[in-house]
Amino acid sequence: MSSFIDELNDAQKAPVLHKDGPLMVIAGAGSGKTRVLTYRIAHLMAQGVDSFNILSLTFTNKAAREMKERIAQIVGASEAKNLWMGTFHSVFAKLLRIDGNKLGYPANFTIYDTQDSQRLIASIIKEMGLDKDIYKYKQIQNRISSFKNSLITVKAYRNDPDLVEQDAMAKKPRTGDIYENYVDRCFKAGAMDFDDLLLRTNELLTRYPDVLMKYQDRFRYILVDEYQDTNHSQYLIVKALADRFQNICVVGDDAQSIYSFRGANISNILNFQKDYDNVGMYRLEQNYRSTRNIVNAANSVIGKNQNQIEKVVWTDNDDGGAIKIHRSPTDAEEGRFVANSIWEHRMQKQMGNGEFAVLYRTNSQSRAIEDALRKRDIPYRIYGGLSFYQRKEIKDVLSYLRLVINPKDEEALKRVINFPARGIGGTTLDKLVVAANHYNRSIFEVMENIERINLKINSGTKRKLQDFVTMIKSFQVMNETTDAFTLSEHVAKKTGILLEFKKDGTPEGIGKMENIEELLNGIKDFVEGQKEIDDATGNISEFLEDVALATDLDNDTGDDDRVALMTIHLAKGLEFPYVYIVGMEEDLFPSGMSMSTRSELEEERRLFYVALTRAEKQAYLTYTQNRYRWGKLIDAEPSRFLEEIDEKYVENLTPVDGGYRYKSLINADIFGEVDKSKLRQQKPVKGTPPLVGQPNPNQLKKLRKIKPQLSEPVGNTNKIDPNLAVGSLINHTRFGRGKVVKIEGTGNDRKAEIVFDKGDIKKLLLRFAKLEVI
């Protein structure tokens, strides 16, 4: 037997050596599930399985890279290269570039990130004349995303009275129309959003049996890490691909399922044995990661959940120190405590910054921690939040590059058509959008044909539009013969973006220029790196795909020694010697948003279990007595999770108030100048804490307000007869035949009340209504 197998314990060896057929490993944190997956791949290859026949799906691309490196050490680098390994999104994006043309997508389709999707939805809501306070674009985007992840297409939505009713009850009866519009627009732009990467893969595999056969034959061995967090769409893809050979290996931990808000479905684990025959079931019990105190503390917490698969987790590691609980008066103090503690550990034990992680429930909590670390001169790195690639100046450059690859890309075009300013105003853009909708073409195609279309745009502006088209086409020509770096540098200069920030001259402007320079450096690195990969060309489209699918963890080069700051969601699967979990307060963790049902609370508890089990040597839990939330100082209560840890395993660093271990000490003298009477009156503010990964509100405020300017004849997207009058008979594309009973408003706001033959009475905004007079 090969020697690497001996780096596993017996329980781990069994699933690694399991012969063909389905198998599942369910085990607690730190017990070596990811290790089992890695070694099973190495073992398969050592047994002669062709690396081309193995597909492995991980939670981050970083995890995939690390697994590949380990496998390369065992079986050799050249063999490991051919493994298809990565996140669901990156793997299936690759597949769709090859076969997506069957669904009408170009091979160079753009991937819209969440920000692009949200911007597009916001403009659709605006164009449809809907109230943006009712139709909140982020909520709508979330809802559309959940439809897609449950494979509910527009048609399926319309045919589902329950869903339609839900939206109607929520006073959002046009949700389906927005959904339809959004899907059309993405398609016309040659773009897929993140959810499409899964949805379209499913569509492809369902509609094209030959494609399904091809990939079933190719991926004879499929392995999935973190299976507990797969959603329905991912589940179906895996099931379809594994159907023929049934060589499917999944590993996971139901106690670490923390993505149900994104549609992750725990029943995928629970039903695995029903989905496949003769499933090999394996359990791992020994934790190699953490001290005994941490393992036991985590067990005592997760034991409070009713819904769980029985599991044992134990460790041979040392007891280690007790889990330390610390209370601060404010979040600024909390930050100082964390910074001081890290500083002391570093001093006393000669440790690197990279051995520490600070974990929090929501991104906004990082600010106080950052301030304190900066004051202490401790280098740190924030994961999540606004990533480098989402900064405005970076997205602007990337948008030009996206247009080079796919000029239909509507969101990219809208970003840069007038940046740097070239006299193409919002009104012109609106007219282009309307015309594009009317002709069912992309905005770029409308611009290309601007002379042939009767648009009310003056000749000066038309020329500017043509110049823009010519510029993009010249970049395309250049792209044929040059590498990504040379092209990007040329684009940054030629478009005037660099000059724009240089002219600005302010420190912010200079900062932005430096960021663009950093982007170009990154592209240079990428080009150099790609030269070593067999089927890569160092072309800009490969770079853009990498960027679009990069999670924040993926940008971690790992070579700089910094404290890691991230949300708990992002920390899944990772490990650090020292972990600080901050903001252990009611309404924050557990989140105020997630306490109304048992299952929500249980998910919060699993999140806490994930957080605690990231720590190898020492865990700190900190909470504050007062915290600014939504601009108000509130009286914070210690988290119930602190109470739930068996007290054998914890130590309080701050004095506690008699009976109740963690009761907040509002009257303690620790308060100094704060006006206590005020504090006590303040009720915790309930609200919507930002979910992980949401863009910050300021950024969204900056979104350009698109003014629909549609009163010109060309603005009509439909075949409205100008003589539409009370009594007119009309035909509507969806509602059928009807009779106009009332007309109100003028211009953009002109509405008609129509009684349809099917019995519906609807008020339709005429500039969008798809109807004709009969």
| Binding region for ATP | 27-34
Interaction between residue 12 and ligand ATP (CB under 6 A): yes
Catalytic residue of the set 12, 34, 428, 709: 34
Whether 226 is catalytic is yes
Spatial CA neighbour of 436 closest among 181, 196, 194: 181
Q: Does residue 8 sit in helix, strand or coil?
A: coil
**Of Mg ion, ligand ATP, none, which one does residue 530 interact with (CB within 5 to 8 Å by kind)?**
none
Whether 464 is catalytic is no
**Of Mg ion, ligand ATP, none, which one does residue 289 interact with (CB within 5 to 8 Å by kind)?**
ligand ATP
Q: What tokens appear for 165 in the block?
A: 């009713």
Residue 540: CB minimum distance to ligand ATP, A? 35
How far, in Å, CA of 234 to CA of 228, rounded?
11
| CA 238 to chain CA mean position, Å | 20
Q: What tokens appear for 693 in the block?
A: 């990964």
| CA 82 to chain CA mean position, Å | 27
**What HEC string does 365-376 produce?**
HHHHHHHHHHHC
Whether 225 is catalytic is yes
**Of ligand ATP, Mg ion, none, which one does residue 288 interact with (CB within 5 to 8 Å by kind)?**
ligand ATP
Q: What would the x/- binding string for Mg ion be over residues 516 to 555, using CB under 5 A? A: ----------------------------------------
Interaction between residue 573 and Mg ion (CB under 5 A): yes
∠ CA 537-542-543, nearest 5°, is 115
Interaction between residue 29 and ligand ATP (CB under 6 A): yes
User: What does DSSP say about strands 771-773 and 729-732: parallel, antiparallel, or unpaired?
Assistant: antiparallel
Catalytic residue of the set 402, 415, 464, 614: 614
Interaction between residue 265 and Mg ion (CB under 5 A): no
How far, in Å, CA of 72 to CA of 485, rounded?
29
- Write the CB contacts of 18 (distance below 8 Å, at least 6 apart in sequence): 40, 249, 280, 282
Closest to ligand ATP by CB, 489 or 575: 575
Closest to ligand ATP by CB, 27 or 588: 27
Amino acid residing at 424: I
Interaction between residue 242 and ligand ATP (CB under 6 A): no
Interaction between residue 592 and Mg ion (CB under 5 A): no
Q: What would the x/- binding string for ligand ATP be over residues 572 to 611, using CB under 6 A? A: -x-x------------------------------------
Q: Is the peptide bond before 420 cis (omega within 30 degrees of 0)?
A: yes
Q: What burial class does residue 452 get, using C-beta atoms within 10 Å of its C-beta: 0-12 exposed, 13-18 middle, 19+ buried?
A: exposed
Whether 537 is catalytic is no
Interaction between residue 314 and ligand ATP (CB under 6 A): no
Closest to ligand ATP by CB, 5 or 469: 5
**Interface of this chain with ligand ATP, residues 92 to 151, rule: CB under 6 A:** none
Choose, by CB under 5 A, the member of 12, 31, 34, 231 that binds Mg ion: 34
**Of ligand ATP, Mg ion, none, which one does residue 30 interact with (CB within 5 to 8 Å by kind)?**
ligand ATP
In the DSSP assignment, the letter for residue 226 is S
Interaction between residue 253 and ligand ATP (CB under 6 A): yes
Catalytic residue of the set 201, 230, 256, 286: 256
Residues listed for the chain: 774
- Write the CB contacts of 197 (distance below 8 Å, at least 6 apart in sequence): 88, 89, 92, 93, 96, 111
Catalytic residue of the set 113, 127, 225, 331: 225
Whether 273 is catalytic is no
- Write the CB contacts of 248 (distance below 8 Å, at least 6 apart in sequence): 22, 23, 222, 223, 224, 238, 242, 276
Closest to ligand ATP by CB, 276 or 609: 609
Closest to ligand ATP by CB, 187 or 288: 288
Whether 166 is catalytic is no
Interaction between residue 708 and ligand ATP (CB under 6 A): no
Residue 76: CB minimum distance to ligand ATP, A? 21
Residue 561: CB minimum distance to ligand ATP, A? 19
How far, in Å, CA of 424 to CA of 457, rounded?
10
Choose, by CB under 6 A, the member of 13, 22, 26, 33 that binds ligand ATP: 33
Which range touches ligand ATP (CB under 6 A), out of 24-32, 137-145, 583-591, 700-708? Answer: 24-32
Closest to ligand ATP by CB, 227 or 580: 227
**Of Mg ion, ligand ATP, none, which one does residue 542 interact with (CB within 5 to 8 Å by kind)?**
none
Closest to ligand ATP by CB, 113 or 253: 253
Phi, psi (degrees; rounded to nearest 5) at 430? -60, -40
Q: What burial class does residue 619 get, using C-beta atoms within 10 Å of its C-beta: 0-12 exposed, 13-18 middle, 19+ buried?
A: buried
Spatial CA neighbour of 335 closest among 295, 306, 313, 367: 367
For residues 301 and 608, the answer to whether their CB atoms sit within 8 Å is yes
Beta bridge partners of 356: 578
Which range touches ligand ATP (CB under 6 A), out of 8-16, 469-477, 481-489, 507-515? Answer: 8-16
Binding-site positions read 27-34
Which range touches ligand ATP (CB under 6 A), out of 22-30, 69-77, 116-124, 315-323? Answer: 22-30
Residue 311: CB minimum distance to ligand ATP, A? 11
Spatial CA neighbour of 224 closest among 384, 349, 38: 38
Residue 99: CB minimum distance to ligand ATP, A? 32
Q: Does residue 565 sit in helix, strand or coil?
A: strand
How far, in Å, CA of 751 to CA of 730, rounded?
14
Interaction between residue 8 and ligand ATP (CB under 6 A): yes
How far, in Å, CA of 743 to CA of 741, rounded?
7
Choose, by CB under 6 A, the member of 15, 30, 329, 689 that binds ligand ATP: 30
Residue 611: CB minimum distance to Mg ion, A? 15
Supply the DSSP string of 390-455, one letter for each residue.
GSHHHHHHHHHHHHHH-TT-HHHHHHHTTSS--S--HHHHHHHHHHHHHHT--HHHHHHTTTTS--
Using the structure block, give the residue that is written with the tokens 């057929």. Answer: 21
Q: What would the x/- binding string for ligand ATP be over residues 261 to 300, using CB under 6 A? A: ---------------------------xx-----------
Q: Which ranges constitute the DSSP H helices of 596-686?
A: 598-612, 640-644, 676-681
Phi, psi (degrees; rounded to nearest 5) at 132? -75, -15
Choose, by CB under 6 A, the member of 13, 16, 24, 34 that binds ligand ATP: 34
Q: Which residues sit at the interface with Mg ion, rule CB under 5 A?
A: 33-34, 573
Q: Which residues sit at the interface with ligand ATP, rule CB under 6 A?
A: 8-9, 12, 27, 29-35, 253, 256, 288-289, 573, 575, 613
Catalytic residues: 33-34, 225-226, 256, 614
